[in-house]
Structure 1
């Protein structure tokens, strides 16, 4: 069986989509699963053993470009896919499998996709409260899974593969000191400072960890580098040499490998948080206005800290520097205590 998946466009969503691939592979071990997604997703897809190959989606996130989508679909006809799964809910995301004439095209109803999809599922959001449940449910025949309770348990969570040799190579490439264990911080957030734990709290936590013999590594994209520098420069001069700001200096694949090298990770609600969870790292996930009720870190080694309830659509907080008060109120000592418990539990295993 040949399967084409039209994948999501965000790091966290792409990570959670692996639950569908794992579900399909468990039911159809001989299936060939190809995933079409933006080219930047390839480092993640290459570390998912269920995925045969990543196919680059050359069109931008908001572009319709009907003619180009038709050309792309027609180019796939000779591949003879048996099934397609369309994970984004947009109309345009269902066009390529339609033009490719894939016999079975499955997805949630979304934006008026009748005809484009011929296996249309109607989503009851209350019945599937988690995004990962919605992805996994698509891997079963229509009508079999009516609620999340019908999913075989446990749901197959994302799980990335990184080898020890890869960790050694990347650490050597960045001249990382091997005498101190690494703690990863992911201080960025896609939608700005309202989802970020304040840099001065990260700095207090980093100072304490460094004083105890750890080395702190900061991860993120190029636009997160300034936030990383705020943390590093808030440290005492003696501690700064043990705080490495890799935000914007690594490829996504290198960041994945370096996160795998960490003893534990502290992260805002971000795509890299989901990467750390998929690497089974002890993880403290810090939430403010965004909610873990829909996209929590999928790991038994993750601890979520959140002081408010509900979802708050906030792009910039009212506090100084755009931070949200609920994240300011999470104190470094609380995070340190949770992190210490996770590290202690790991040592006992």
Structure 2
């Protein structure tokens, strides 16, 4: 069976989608799975052994461009897909499989997708509370899966593969110290500071870890670079050389490899958190207004710290510098204690 998956456009969602690919292969080892997603996803998809080919989606997030989607779909007809699974809920995401004339097109009912999808599912959010459950459920006939309890347990978790040789090469490329074990920090998050643990808490934690003989690497995109600089500026002179701000300095491929080198990772609720979980790294995940009840880190080595319950609307400015009070209230001492309780592991 040849399966086309229209993948999500966010890092965390892309990582959770691997549970679907693993499930499809477990149910049918001969299945050939191609995933259409933005080109930036290729470094992640290439490390998922279940994925045969990553097909680039050249259209930007939010772009309709029906004529271009028609062209993309027609170009895929020769591949002879038996089935398509559409993970995003938008109208436009269902167009390519329709234009590709894939016989069976599966997805949750979204915005005006009648006809585009001929295996349409109606989502009961209480029956499938986790996003990963909603993804995996699409791999089965809807008559057999009415709630998350009908899915195979436990769910197959995401898992990215990184080779030891890649680790050594990338550590050398960035001239990183091989003598000190690495703790990774992921201090960024989408939608502003409301989902971020304060930079001054990260700095306090970095100072203490460096004093214990660790080095700290700061990960993120270019827009997280200033946050990394704030952390660095808060360190003492003797700790400064052992903390490196890599936010905006690495390609996604390099960030994945360096995260795999870490002995442990401390992260906000972000895409990098989900990558760290898929790399099976010991992980402290810090949540504030967003909820781990929907998109938790999918790893037995992850510990979630959250001081509130329920979902809270993300809003800027409810505390100093736009941080959420519930994240301010998570102390560096609490995170340090949780790090000490993580299972021992070797990063490099």
Normalized against structure 2, the TM-score is what? 0.98
Q: Which runs of 5+ in 1 are unaligned?
A: none
Task: Quote the residue 1:88 is aligned against.
Answer: 88
CA separation in 1, counterparts of 2:19 and 2:288? 26
Residue aligned with 1:237, SS = coil
Task: Quote the residue 1:240 is aligned against.
Answer: 240
Q: CA deviation at 1:30?
A: 1.1
Task: Quote the residue 2:281 is aligned against.
Answer: 281
For each residue in 1:32-86, what CA deviation from the matched residue of structure 2 results, as whole angstroms up to 9, or x when unmatched? 1100000011100001000011011011110111111111101111111111000
Residue aligned with 2:238, SS = helix
CA separation in 1, counterparts of 2:215 and 2:147? 44
Task: Quote the residue 1:47 is aligned against.
Answer: 47
Q: CA deviation at 1:314?
A: 1.3
For each residue in 1:120-168, what CA deviation from the matched residue of structure 2 results, as whole angstroms up to 9, or x when unmatched? 1111000000000000111111211100001111101111110101111
For each residue in 1:155-214, what CA deviation from the matched residue of structure 2 results, as whole angstroms up to 9, or x when unmatched? 011111101011111001000100000000000001110000000000110000000000
Task: Quote the residue 1:264 is aligned against.
Answer: 264
Task: Quote the residue 2:117 is aligned against.
Answer: 117
Task: Quote the residue 1:189 is aligned against.
Answer: 189
- More displaced, 334-343 or 271-280? 334-343
Contact 2:72 2:96 (C-alpha < 8 Å) held by counterparts: yes
Matches within 5 A, 1:158-197: 158-197=158-197
CA separation in 2, counterparts of 1:343 and 1:294? 25
Contact 1:170 1:254 (C-alpha < 8 Å) held by counterparts: yes
Task: Quote the residue 1:66 is aligned against.
Answer: 66
For each residue in 1:211-246, what CA deviation from the matched residue of structure 2 results, as whole angstroms up to 9, or x when unmatched? 000000000000001001111110001101000110
CA separation in 2, counterparts of 1:121 and 1:162? 36
Q: CA deviation at 1:343?
A: 4.4
Task: Quote the residue 2:15 is aligned against.
Answer: 15
Residue aligned with 1:342, SS = coil
CA separation in 1, counterparts of 2:112 and 2:54? 27
Task: Quote the residue 1:5 is aligned against.
Answer: 5
Contact 1:83 1:105 (C-alpha < 8 Å) held by counterparts: yes
CA separation in 1, counterparts of 2:311 and 2:41? 27
Contact 1:263 1:343 (C-alpha < 8 Å) held by counterparts: no
Residue aligned with 1:223, SS = helix
Task: Quote the residue 2:340 is aligned against.
Answer: 340
Matches within 5 A, 1:182-221: 182-221=182-221
CA separation in 1, counterparts of 2:298 and 2:237? 37
Task: Quote the residue 1:36 is aligned against.
Answer: 36
Residue aligned with 1:76, SS = helix
Task: Quote the residue 1:314 is aligned against.
Answer: 314
CA separation in 1, counterparts of 2:97 and 2:206? 48
Task: Quote the residue 2:303 is aligned against.
Answer: 303
Task: Quote the residue 1:253 is aligned against.
Answer: 253
CA separation in 2, counterparts of 1:325 and 1:153? 36
- Number of paired residues? 346
CA separation in 1, counterparts of 2:142 and 2:126? 18
